[in-house]
Amino acid sequence: MQIGEELVIAILDSIDEAIHVINEEGITIFYNQVAADHDGLHREEVLGKHLLEVFPSLNENSSTLLEVNRTKQPIYHLPQTYKNKWGKLIDTVNTTLPIKINGTFVGSVEIGKDYSKIKDLSNKLMDLQSKVRGVSKKPNEIYGAKYTFHDIMTKNERFNLVKQQATKVAKSSSTVLVYGETGTGKELLVQSIHNESQRRQGPFIAQNCAALPESLLESILFGTVKGSYTGAVDRAGLFEIAHGGTLFLDEINSMPLELQSRLLRVLEDGMVRRIGSPKALQVDVRVIVALNKYPSECVKTGELRPDLYYRLNVFSLEIPPLCERLEDIPYLVDHFIGLYNHSFQKNISKVDDEVLELFASYTWPGNVRELKHIIEHAMIMADGTTLSKDLLPNHLIDSPTLASTLALRPLREAVQETENTLISAAMKKSGGNINQAAKLLEIPRQTLQYKLQKKNH
């Protein structure tokens, strides 16, 4: 053997990848120690022998090396999972290439990268995450609920009533449905309920159902047992981790319908079954769900199962949007100014009337969150002691206001006008057929007839 060849062999023997080379006839001509370790064989058992003689479980079609020998085409990055002679599970990614010397085909080489360790590490990481959630002495410090009812600022009568109802329901273990537009304070309310309940020392676990793909959401919620699918390990789901506490399922309408029916069964009997396990476990978890669309609307669009909706609707709380509680705006403005005076070391003590007028007529699609961010923005820009209009973001100054989108006028007149528009549209759609138009409007035919007569006079 020449020095050069020895050097190449030494190099190939010292790298981390498995290397297996066969000649044109399928006889192994090179086989490094890593490859031998993967396969659980000694190099001598393999070298100089035909591949199928050493690996009787393979055949002409299933062996990638023999396939490349036949096709002379490379196969890149093929994942393979197999048990070696000693029963050890090996996960590799293989690349198999034809070897040509001066244009003549002489055999094939397979390079295998073992990623069992990476897979192991990723499983360990997920296990650790679930342990951190599960066994921490003070889970609330990590995944906790920090807000209480004192943090929910409102002077609005309707919202105060909701707060009162929430305080009462907090004492029980009932499932609660919270509805409110984005940024109205659903998270605040749900955390406050947990902290007001007997479960406040227990875990508070929040999961947004829109944030995960279907299969992952199911295993995260219910847990898995080893072997239930490739790579599955014994892992507790959020229902088990939240035992003795509260599980907050946000944007429940994004949960796939099949999973909604599984959730309903857990709500009915308190039993959860890890994926792949025949054993059901009794859990003591209070479930709170939130929606940012009208619940009945979600049922109509098919996003929420009616049976689950009826089960959840036993106790529902609706947070009014900010534009329906204008009295809260100056109150929240003061509150947020206090907050940011402190954290930004500012000294704002006055708000221009112009600013409050603009706020009162703005539509607030992002509700309190938007108001909070606008105050934050203005306070960063502010130098003096007054919060003036020029400190506000441009989009707010140029935006259409409530007043311009909806001019104030007598309600009766506005309702009548809307009714007339709808009746005309229904009559048009039904081609003048009163029966059909009444069906479209979901009112009795007689009522429509009467309204049509009134409209024409």
Ligand X SMILES: Nc1ncnc2c1ncn2[C@@H]1O[C@H](COP(=O)(O)OP(=O)(O)OP(=O)(O)O)[C@@H](O)[C@H]1O
CB 286, min distance to Mg ion, A: 18
Q: What residue is closest to Mg ion based on CB?
A: 187
The Cα 342–Cα 235 span in angstroms is 44
Amino acid identity for residue 152 in this structure: I
Q: Which does 47 bind (CB under 5 to 8 A by kind): ligand X, Mg ion, none?
A: none
Q: With respect to ligand X, which residue has the nearer C-beta, 38 or 372?
A: 372
CB 440, min distance to ligand X, A: 33
CB 203, min distance to ligand X, A: 19
Q: With respect to Mg ion, which residue has the nearer C-beta, 186 or 199?
A: 186
Q: What is the DSSP string of 65-127?
A: HHHHHHH---EEEEEEEEE-TTS-EEEEEEEEEEEEETTEEEEEEEEEEE-HHHHHHHHHHHH
CB 86, min distance to ligand X, A: 52
Tokens 């009714």 found at: 419
Q: With respect to ligand X, which residue has the nearer C-beta, 185 or 295?
A: 185
Q: Which does 163 bind (CB under 5 to 8 A by kind): ligand X, Mg ion, none?
A: none
Q: Which does 372 bind (CB under 5 to 8 A by kind): ligand X, Mg ion, none?
A: ligand X
Beta strand 18-23 pairing with 286-291? unpaired
Q: Which does 273 bind (CB under 5 to 8 A by kind): ligand X, Mg ion, none?
A: none
The Cα 271–Cα 268 span in angstroms is 8
The Cα 159–Cα 155 span in angstroms is 8
CB 292, min distance to Mg ion, A: 8
Q: What residue is closest to ligand X based on CB?
A: 185
Is 187 a binding residue for Mg ion by CB under 5 A? The answer is yes
Q: With respect to ligand X, which residue has the nearer C-beta, 26 or 183?
A: 183
**Measured CA distances, 109 to 11, 152, 242 (Å):** 15, 67, 52
The Cα 245–Cα 241 span in angstroms is 9
Closest CA to 200 of 132, 148, 163: 148
Q: Which does 285 bind (CB under 5 to 8 A by kind): ligand X, Mg ion, none?
A: none
Quote the distance between the C-alpha of residue 180 and its chain's center: 19
Closest CA to 136 of 219, 204, 199, 218: 204
Q: Which does 320 bind (CB under 5 to 8 A by kind): Mg ion, ligand X, none?
A: none
The Cα 238–Cα 211 span in angstroms is 15
CB 143, min distance to ligand X, A: 15
> Binding residues for Mg ion, how many (CB under 5 A)?
2
Q: With respect to ligand X, which residue has the nearer C-beta, 152 or 374?
A: 152
CB 186, min distance to Mg ion, A: 5
Amino acid identity for residue 31 in this structure: Y
Q: Which does 154 bind (CB under 5 to 8 A by kind): Mg ion, ligand X, none?
A: ligand X
Q: Which does 188 bind (CB under 5 to 8 A by kind): ligand X, Mg ion, none?
A: ligand X
Q: Which does 185 bind (CB under 5 to 8 A by kind): Mg ion, ligand X, none?
A: ligand X
CB 181, min distance to Mg ion, A: 11
CB 285 within 8 A of CB 243: yes
Beta strands in 251-382 (DSSP E): 271-273, 280-282, 286-291, 316-318, 350-351
Q: With respect to ligand X, which residue has the nearer C-beta, 28 or 156?
A: 156
Quote the distance between the C-alpha of residue 454 and its chain's center: 52
Q: What torsion do the CA atoms of 264, 267, 269, 270 make, to the nearest 10 degrees?
A: 130
Q: Which does 183 bind (CB under 5 to 8 A by kind): Mg ion, ligand X, none?
A: ligand X
Q: With respect to ligand X, which residue has the nearer C-beta, 175 or 253?
A: 253
CB 332, min distance to ligand X, A: 6
CB 136, min distance to Mg ion, A: 23
Using DSSP, state whether 413 is helix, strand or coil. Answer: helix
Q: With respect to Mg ion, which residue has the nearer C-beta, 187 or 303?
A: 187
Which residues, other chains included, contact 150 with Cβ-Cβ below 8 Å and sequence gap of 6+? none
Residues contributing to the site for ligand X (CB under 6 A) = 152-154, 180, 182-188, 292, 368-369, 372
Q: With respect to Mg ion, which residue has the nearer C-beta, 31 or 204?
A: 204
Q: With respect to ligand X, which residue has the nearer C-beta, 193 or 441?
A: 193
Binding site for Mg ion (CB under 5 A): 186-187
